[in-house]
C-alpha cells in the first residue's frame, strides 16, 4: 500500500495576490535604485514620469508581466484587476489567461518566450518593461529585486546616453529626441531607423540596424561612439 502525497494548488485569489506582491516588489526595487541617482536624472526615469501604469500579467507557458502607459477597457466578465501605488508610481494590474483571452493559449513557447506575440495578442503597441518569468522561476523577493534594480539602471543608462548623443549630434536633435521617445515606448525598429538617420555612414551602425531583431542597447552605444568626436577632434559619423 503506497502513501499518496497531495499538494494543494494555491487558489486563484492567492495566486493573484502573489503576483500583485511581486509587481509591487519590482516597483519598490526600481524606486530604491532610483533614489541613488541625482534628482533631475531620477525625475526623468520612465516609470516615475508616467502618470499611471497599466501592468498586464499574462499566463502562457511563461508568466509575462508587461508595463505600459496604454489604458485598457474596464474589466468585463471574468477579468480581474487590482490597483497599486508606491511613492511616485501608481498602477493597475490586470490578469489575462486563456479563459479571459483564448488567443493567449495558442502561443507556442516551446523555444522560449514570445514577447512580441504576447503584446500583439494583447493589442499593446508600446511598453516600458516586459518581464518573462520561466516556468518554476518563482515570484520571490530576490527575483523582483533583481528585475526592478536592473530595469532602473537600464533606464538611467539610456537617458544618459541620449543626453550625450543629443549634445554631439548638432542639427539632429529632433531625431535624437524621437529616438529617445521610441526607447521609452519600447519601439525597437523605430530606434534602429532613427539611429541610421542620425549617423547614416557609420559601418557599425549599418550592420547593427540591418539585424532582423535590433539590439537597441548596442545600437545606442554605437550611435554615441559615432557622433562623439574622436581624439583627433573629428566626428566619427
Q: What is the pTM of this model?
A: 0.84
66 pLDDT higher than 60: yes
185 pLDDT higher than 90: no
57 pLDDT higher than 50: yes
1 pLDDT higher than 50: no
CA distance 195 to 206: 9
Q: Which one has a higher pLDDT value, 25 or 233? A: 25
Question: In the prediction, which pLDDT does 104 show?
Answer: 87
How many CB atoms lie under 10 A from the CB of residue 136? 5
- Looking at 1-15, 164-178, 211-225, which range is the least confident one? 1-15
Classify strands 89-96 and 53-59 as parallel, antiparallel or unpaired: parallel
Question: In the prediction, which pLDDT does 78 show?
Answer: 83
195 pLDDT higher than 90: yes
Q: What is the mean pLDDT of residues 210-232?
A: 87
- Looking at 128-137, 139-148, 169-178, 193-202, which range is the least confident one? 128-137
143 pLDDT higher than 60: yes
The DSSP H or E segment spanning 33 is: helix 12-34
Q: Tell me, rounded to whole angstroms, the distance of Cα 175 from its chain centroid.
A: 22
126 pLDDT higher than 60: yes
Rounded percentage of the chain residues whose pLDDT exceeds 70: 93
Q: What is the mean pLDDT of residues 29-41?
A: 93
The domain limits of the chain are: 12-153, 169-227
Strand partners, 95: 57, 80
How much is the mean pLDDT over the chain? Answer: 89
Q: What is the mean pLDDT of residues 114-131?
A: 93
Question: In the prediction, which pLDDT does 231 show?
Answer: 52
Query: 210 in helix, strand or coil?
Result: coil
Q: What is the mean pLDDT of residues 84-101?
A: 93
| Reported confidence tier of residue 138, pLDDT bands at 50, 70, 90 | confident
Amino acid at each position: 500500500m503506497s502513501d499518496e502525497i497531495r499538494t494543494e494548488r494555491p487558489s486563484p485569489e492567492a495566486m493573484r495576490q502573489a503576483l500583485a506582491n511581486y509587481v509591487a516588489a519590482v516597483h519598490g526595487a526600481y524606486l530604491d535604485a532610483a533614489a541613488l541617482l541625482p534628482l533631475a536624472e531620477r525625475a526623468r526615469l520612465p516609470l516615475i514620469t508616467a502618470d499611471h501604469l497599466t501592468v498586464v500579467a499574462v499566463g502562457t507557458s511563461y508568466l509575462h508581466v508587461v508595463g505600459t502607459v496604454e489604458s485598457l477597457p474596464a474589466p468585463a466578465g471574468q477579468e480581474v484587476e487590482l490597483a497599486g501605488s508606491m511613492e511616485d508610481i501608481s498602477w493597475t494590474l490586470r490578469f489575462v489567461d486563456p479563459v479571459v483571452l483564448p488567443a493567449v493559449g495558442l502561443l507556442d513557447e516551446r523555444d522560449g518566450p514570445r514577447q512580441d506575440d504576447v503584446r500583439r495578442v494583447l493589442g499593446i503597441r508600446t511598453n516600458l518593461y516586459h518581464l518573462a518569468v520561466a516556468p518554476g522561476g518563482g515570484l520571490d523577493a530576490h527575483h523582483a529585486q533583481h528585475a526592478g534594480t536592473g530595469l532602473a539602471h537600464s533606464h538611467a543608462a539610456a537617458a544618459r546616453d541620449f543626453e550625450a548623443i543629443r549634445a554631439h549630434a548638432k542639427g539632429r536633435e529632433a531625431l535624437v529626441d524621437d529616438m529617445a521617445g521610441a526607447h521609452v515606448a519600447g519601439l525597437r525598429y523605430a530606434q534602429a531607423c532613427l539611429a541610421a538617420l542620425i549617423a547614416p555612414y557609420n559601418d557599425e551602425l549599418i550592420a547593427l540596424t540591418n539585424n532582423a531583431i535590433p539590439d537597441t542597447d548596442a545600437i545606442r552605444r554605437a550611435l554615441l561612439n559615432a557622433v562623439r568626436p574622436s581624439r583627433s577632434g573629428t566626428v566619427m559619423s
